[in-house]
């Protein structure tokens, strides 16, 4: 069977490359994606490469949470102010929140199990991996990336680690999300004032916005590190495929000339 016929008959591949993103199939632990969906609905789906569904769930989480005042009620409850928490929470929006929140956790867990099965089949099928894409807007190619460097960039500013890995949709979503949260929560003002006069915060943070930030910050670092590791595995596999296709066989022999 020639190469073209083989490419046409491949049912599953380990990766899909475009000029803006590389989506990689790899083995994941279902409880990890479910945990990230519980921390912030949509993050589990971003880990699975389902960017569109993940973005919808992230926008839903922010809008419904803001309308129902769940974050503010959580902070008041932690401080023992249960009556105040009951007063600020909006039950109509909370009832809309519950079903989708549970769905995000369940669906990410279920999808992880199914994708692990697809990954096993794709590994056995060993479809050719595309190594290079280019158009008028961007150049995309597989190469080795440092997982620690990707994580450090995400710790400095969520989204930059994904940009370093050339995952533009996820990087853009995290970067914009972090900027919106930081501005609306007064995080930057509090950080500067705390550094200037330790222990004296003149402009308190808004808990309704600030409780989103730990999840975004942690997810950005985790996702960048894991993806860099899997990107390097994919690069090495692509190199092996190329050598198997192009390198001469062990049975190749050089025949001596007539005068030898």
- Could you tell me if 24 and 231 are in contact, meaning their C-beta atoms sit under 8 angstroms apart? yes
Please say if the pLDDT value at position 60 is more than 80: yes
**What is the percentage of the chain residues whose pLDDT exceeds 70?**
88
**What is the percentage of the chain residues whose pLDDT exceeds 90?**
51
Stronger pLDDT, 188 or 63, i.e. the higher one: 63
What is the structure's pLDDT at 253? Answer: 63
Query: What CA–CA distance (Å, rounded) separates 221 from 218?
Result: 5
Q: Average pLDDT in the 211-218 region?
A: 94
Query: What is the reported pTM?
Result: 0.85
């Amino acid at each position: 069977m020639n190469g073209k016929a083989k490419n046409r008959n491949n049912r599953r591949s380990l990766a899909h490359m475009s000029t803006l993103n590389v989506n990689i199939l790899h083995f994941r632990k279902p409880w990890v994606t479910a945990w990230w969906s519980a921390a912030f609905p949509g993050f589990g789906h971003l880990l699975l490469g389902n960017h569109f569904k993940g973005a919808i769930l992230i926008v839903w989480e922010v809008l419904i949470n803001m309308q129902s005042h769940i974050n503010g009620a959580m902070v008041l409850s932690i401080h023992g102010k249960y009556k105040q928490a009951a007063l600020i929470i909006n039950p109509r929006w909370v009832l809309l929140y519950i079903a989708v929140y549970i769905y995000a956790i369940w669906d990410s867990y279920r999808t992880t199990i199914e994708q692990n099965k697809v990954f096993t089949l794709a590994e056995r099928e060993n479809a050719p991996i595309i190594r290079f894409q280019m158009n008028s807007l961007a150049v995309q190619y597989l190469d080795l990336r440092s997982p620690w460097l990707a994580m450090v960039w995400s710790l400095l500013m969520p989204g930059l680690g994904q940009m370093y890995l050339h995952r533009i949709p996820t990087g853009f979503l995290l970067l914009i999300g972090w900027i919106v949260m930081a501005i609306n929560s007064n995080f930057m003002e509090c950080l500067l004032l705390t550094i200037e006069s330790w222990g004296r915060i003149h402009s308190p943070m808004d808990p309704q916005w600030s409780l989103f930030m730990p999840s975004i910050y942690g997810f950005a670092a985790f996702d960048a590190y894991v993806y860099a590791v899997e990107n390097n595995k994919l690069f090495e596999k692509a190199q092996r495929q190329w050598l198997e296709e192009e390198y001469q066989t062990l049975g190749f022999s050089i025949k001596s000339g007539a005068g030898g």
